[in-house]
A and B are shown apart, each in its own frame.
Chain A
Amino acid sequence: MSSIALVGNPNTGKTSLFNTLTSSYEYVGNWAGVTVEKKVGSLKNGAGKLIDLPGIYSLHPLSRDEGVAAQYLIDESPEALVNIVDASQLERNLLLTLQLLEYGKPTVLGLNMIDVAKARGIYVNPEILQKHLGITVLPLVARTGKGSGQVLSILEKTSSIPAVTFKLHYGELVEQAIAAIQHELQQTADLPNHRWVALQLLEQNPVVLELLSKRINISRLLEICDTCQTELQNKKLALTLPQWIRSTRKEYIHSICLEAVDTTAQKPHNLTEKLDSILTHRFLGLPLFLVFMYAMFKTTFDWVGGPLSDIVDGWISGPISDSANSLLQTIGASGFTHALIVDGIIGGVGGVVVFVPQIFILFLMISFLEDSGYMARVCLLMDSTMERMGLNGKAFIPFIIGFGCNVPAIMAARSIEQPKERMLTTLLLPLMSCSARLPVYLLFAAVFFPAQQATAVMSMYVLGVIFALILCKLFSKHLFKNESSVFIIELPPYRMPQLKTLGRSTWEKGKGFLRKAGTIILAGSVIIWLMSYAGPTGFNVDMDNSFLAKFGGLIAPLLHPLGFGTWQAGSTLVPGFLAKEVVVSTMNIIYHTPDTAGLESQISQVFTPLSSISFMAFILLYIPCLATVGVIKKETASWKWTFFSMGYSLVLAYMVSFIIFQGGSLLGWS
C-alpha cells in the first residue's frame, strides 16, 4: 500500500478533497476547518492511504501544527504528494508548491476552487502551469467533487506519476553553497532529496536543522550557510539568505503567473464585502455575535435539543426499561443481575445518553460557524478584548470549541503562533463548560429555574468565560515573561457550508461522546452501582450503609461549607474526574431513578436553589477530566504545568462555591 500526502495552504479545500477521495478514516485528529494532526484515510479505489496534513504556508514552521506537516515530510517518506492550491490565490500558494517540488517526490497539483476563481473573473490556464512546473495540473472543485475522479485515477498507480524534474536556479553564490552542502550530505543515509535538505538548511528551517543535528555534526554545514549569507550581504544582494531564496522564488512565480493567470476581469468578493460590512461592523459586530451565541444556546437547549432529549428520555424510561425488565424476568435473571442491568447500566448510561441530541446540535452549530467563515471574524471582533487579558483573538476559537469538548479545543490551540499565548490558552481551556458538564446544568436548571432554563445554563457558560479572562490576566502578568502578544488572522470568504461536510464533522466530534458513553461511563456506572449495592455488611444493603455512602461521607465534611455536604454529592465528584458525564449517571444510580422526572424530584429535596448554583459552579470549575489532563500533558510536555492546571482549578472551584454559598446565605437566600 502506498501512502500519499495531501499538502497545501490553509483554507484551500484539502479536507473537502480528502473527504471525497477517501471512504474511511483510520485516524482522526481533526474537526471542521482545522486539521491539527495528520489524518489518514483509505483511498476509495483501494490504491493506498491518503494523509491530510495541516494547512501550511511554507515548510518553515511557525506554529505547532505547521511543525507537524514539516516533520511528516522529513521523517516519513510519502510515495507521492497531492498539492492543492487555491486558483484565486495562485501566486501565494505556489510558494509552497516550489518547496514541495524541490522535495522531489512525484507530485500532482490540484488547482482547486476554479469555480470561485471564475466567478471572481480570474482565469488560470492549467496547461501553462503544467508546462512550467513539469507536473500534472488538475482543475478541481473539491466542494462538489468535480475533478476528484481524475485525481483518484492518477493516484491509482503512484509509480506512473512522472518524477519531478523541476529545478530553480538560485544564483551562483547559493548554488555553490547547495553543491557544497550536498557534498557533505553524501555519506548520510535515509535523507529526503539532498538538494531539498540543502535548501531548507539555507532557509534556516528549524525542523530540518534539528533532524540533521541528531544524525550528524552540522557545524560544517552551518559554516557553509554563514559564508554564503555573508557573501550575499557583501555583494548587497540581500540582507539574509532566507530572504534571498524567498525573493528568487517569488520572482519566478510571478513570471509564471503573468503567463498562466488572467486577472483582467477580476471582481471583488461581493457577498463577503456585504456580509462583512454588517458582521464586522464597528458597533453592530459584537452585539450581533452575542445574539448569535444566544440563539445557539436557545436552539440547543430550548427550541430543538430539549424536546428531542425528552423523546429519548421517554424511550429509555419507557419501552427500553420495560422490555429489559420483562426480558430479565422471562429468562429468570437473579436479583443481582436484574438490579445491575436496570439500575446500574440503563440508569447510569441512559441518564447520559439522554443528552446526546443536545450535544450533537451544539456540535452541528459549531461546525456551521467554522465552515461558513464566520469564526475568523469572531476572532477579529474579540481580539481587542482578548488582548487586554494578555491573549489574542485567535485563542477564541479554541475557547468556543471548548464548549463542545476541551480535548480537541486544547489541540486547536496549536494554531496560535506565540508559545506564551498557546500555553495560557491550554491552561485556561478547562474553564470552558464542555458538553459533559451540560447535563449537570440542564438537570439543576430544570429543577430549580424551570422558567429561565436557557438563561441559567448560559450564565454558567458565561461564568466560566469570565473566570478564564480574569485568570488569564493574572497568569499572563505573573507567570510568564513579558512576551508580547501578536495577532494576524486570515479572513476566508464566506461560504455556505455543505450538508455532507457538516454532517461528517458533527459526527466526528459527537462520536467521542458516544464512545465515552459506551466505555468510561458504562464502566463508571457499573462500579458506582456496585459500590452502592454493596456495603461492609454485604450485598443489597440500604444505600445509606453502602460503600459509596461511606466513601462519599469522607468528603462530605469538606463540602459542607459549600452547601452540598452530603455523601451523595461527595460521591459524584470523584468519578466526575474520570469524565464529567459520570456525575449525572452517578446521581441516577444513587437516587435509583432511571428517568429524569424521578431524579428531578429527588434533587429538589436534597438541594436548594442556592446550593444548586454552588454545586453547578463547582462542577464547572473543579479539575479537568482525565482525558483533558492527558492532552494538557501531551501539549505542554510538562508535568509541572499539568499539575498546575489541576491544582488551580480545584482551588478556584472551592473558593468560588464557598463565596457563592456563604455570601448567598448571608444575603438571606436559600
Chain B
Amino acid sequence: MASTSCSLLRLQPGSTGSIYRIEGMNPILRRRLADLGVSEGVMIRLKGKGPFLGPITLECNGQLFAIRRKEASMIEVNVS
C-alpha cells in the first residue's frame, strides 16, 4: 500500500492519518500536545475547520481538541 506524507491540513474533514513528524512547533504547544497523547505514530483525525480561517478540530485517542491552522501545518501525517 502506497503511503504518502503530507501536512495534516491537507486531510479531508473526517479522514484519518498517522502522525509522521511534528517539527518547528512552539515548545509550550508541543508539550501540551504530548500531554494529550499527540505524538509520532499516533492516529489523528481531522474533524472540521473553523470559521474565518479559525482553528481546526482534531480527534486523537478519543479526545477532541482544537489548534490553529498554522500549527496544524507543522504536523505531518501519513495517509494510507
**Contact mask for chain B residues 50-69; partner A; CB cutoff 8 A; 1 contact, 0 none:** 11111101000111111110
B21 within 8 A of A: no
A280 and B53 CA atoms in complex are apart in Å by: 13
Name the residue of chain A whose CB is nearest to the CB of B36: A92
Stretch from A29-37, A281-289, A446-454 that touches the partner: A281-289
Known: A417-B32, A484-B26. A380 touches B62 (CB 8 A): no
A387 within 8 A of B: yes
A541 within 8 A of B: no
Q: A383-B68, A491-B65 are in contact. List 18 more A-B contacts (CB 8 A).
A: A62-B32, A89-B61, A89-B62, A91-B61, A122-B62, A277-B48, A282-B48, A283-B51, A286-B51, A380-B57, A384-B54, A384-B55, A393-B54, A486-B28, A486-B29, A486-B71, A488-B67, A490-B36
Interface centre among B31, B48, B64 (most CB of A within 10 A): B64
**Contact mask for chain B residues 12-38; partner A; CB cutoff 8 A; 1 contact, 0 none:** 000000000000001011011111110
A132 within 8 A of B: no
Interface centre among B31, B48, B49, B51 (most CB of A within 10 A): B51
Interface size bucket, A side?
Answer: 35 or more
Known: A486-B28, A488-B33. A272 touches B64 (CB 8 A): yes
A484 and B24 CA atoms in complex are apart in Å by: 13
Contact A418 B62 (CB under 8 A): no
In residues 55-74 of chain A, which contact B (Cβ within 8 Å)? 57-58, 60, 62
Contact A488 B54 (CB under 8 A): no
A490 and B55 CA atoms in complex are apart in Å by: 12
Contact A92 B61 (CB under 8 A): yes
Name the residue of chain B whose CB is nearest to the CB of A88: B62
Known: A276-B47, A383-B68. A58 touches B32 (CB 8 A): no
Q: Which B residues lie within 8 Å of A95 (CB)? A: 35
A91 and B63 CA atoms in complex are apart in Å by: 11
CB distance from B27 to the nearest CB of A (A): 10
Name the residue of chain A whose CB is nearest to the CB of B52: A384
Q: Which A residues lie within 8 Å of B29 (CB)? A: 486, 488
CB distance from A385 to the nearest CB of B (A): 7
Interface size on B, residues (CB 8 A): 29
A196 within 8 A of B: no
Q: Which B residues lie within 8 Å of A484 (CB)? A: 26
Q: Which A residues lie within 8 Å of B57 (CB)? A: 276, 280, 380, 491
Contact B48 A276 (CB under 8 A): yes
Q: Which A residues lie within 8 Å of B50 (CB)? A: 280, 282, 285, 380-381, 383-384
Nearest 10 A/B pairs, CB to CB: A57-B35, A384-B54, A491-B64, A384-B52, A92-B37, A282-B51, A490-B65, A380-B66, A486-B29, A488-B67
A381 and B64 CA atoms in complex are apart in Å by: 15
Interface centre among B29, B31, B47, B63 (most CB of A within 10 A): B63
Which of A57, A385, A417, A493 interacts with B36 by CB under 8 Å?
A: A57
A220 within 8 A of B: no
- Chain A residues proximal to chain B, CB less than 8 Å: 57-58, 60, 62, 88-89, 91-92, 95, 120, 122, 246, 266, 269, 272, 276-277, 280-283, 285-286, 380-381, 383-385, 387, 393, 417-418, 484, 486-493
Interface centre among A88, A269, A491 (most CB of B within 10 A): A491
Q: Which B residues lie within 8 Å of A492 (CB)? A: 64
Name the residue of chain B whose CB is nearest to the CB of A263: B62
Contact A491 B66 (CB under 8 A): yes
Which of B53, B61, B62, B66 interacts with A489 by CB under 8 Å?
A: B66
Name the residue of chain B whose CB is nearest to the CB of A492: B64
Name the residue of chain A whose CB is nearest to the CB of B47: A276
Contact A246 B61 (CB under 8 A): no
Known: A92-B61, A380-B54, A380-B55. A280 touches B36 (CB 8 A): no
CB distance from A316 to the nearest CB of B (A): 47
Interface centre among A281, A387, A393, A486 (most CB of B within 10 A): A486
Known: A380-B54, A490-B64. A282 touches B32 (CB 8 A): no
CB distance from A418 to the nearest CB of B (A): 7
Q: Which B residues lie within 8 Å of A277 (CB)? A: 48
Contact B65 A489 (CB under 8 A): yes
Q: Which B residues lie within 8 Å of A383 (CB)? A: 50, 54-55, 66, 68
Contact A488 B51 (CB under 8 A): no
CB distance from A7 to the nearest CB of B (A): 15
Contact B66 A488 (CB under 8 A): yes
CB distance from B2 to the nearest CB of A (A): 28
A491 and B57 CA atoms in complex are apart in Å by: 9
A266 and B43 CA atoms in complex are apart in Å by: 15
Contact A393 B55 (CB under 8 A): yes
CB distance from A61 to the nearest CB of B (A): 10
A282 and B55 CA atoms in complex are apart in Å by: 11
CB distance from A416 to the nearest CB of B (A): 11
Q: Which B residues lie within 8 Å of A62 (CB)? A: 28, 31-32
A418 and B68 CA atoms in complex are apart in Å by: 15
Contact B63 A92 (CB under 8 A): yes
Contact B51 A381 (CB under 8 A): yes
A58 and B34 CA atoms in complex are apart in Å by: 10
Q: Which B residues lie within 8 Å of A58 (CB)? A: 35
Contact B53 A384 (CB under 8 A): yes
CB distance from B17 to the nearest CB of A (A): 17
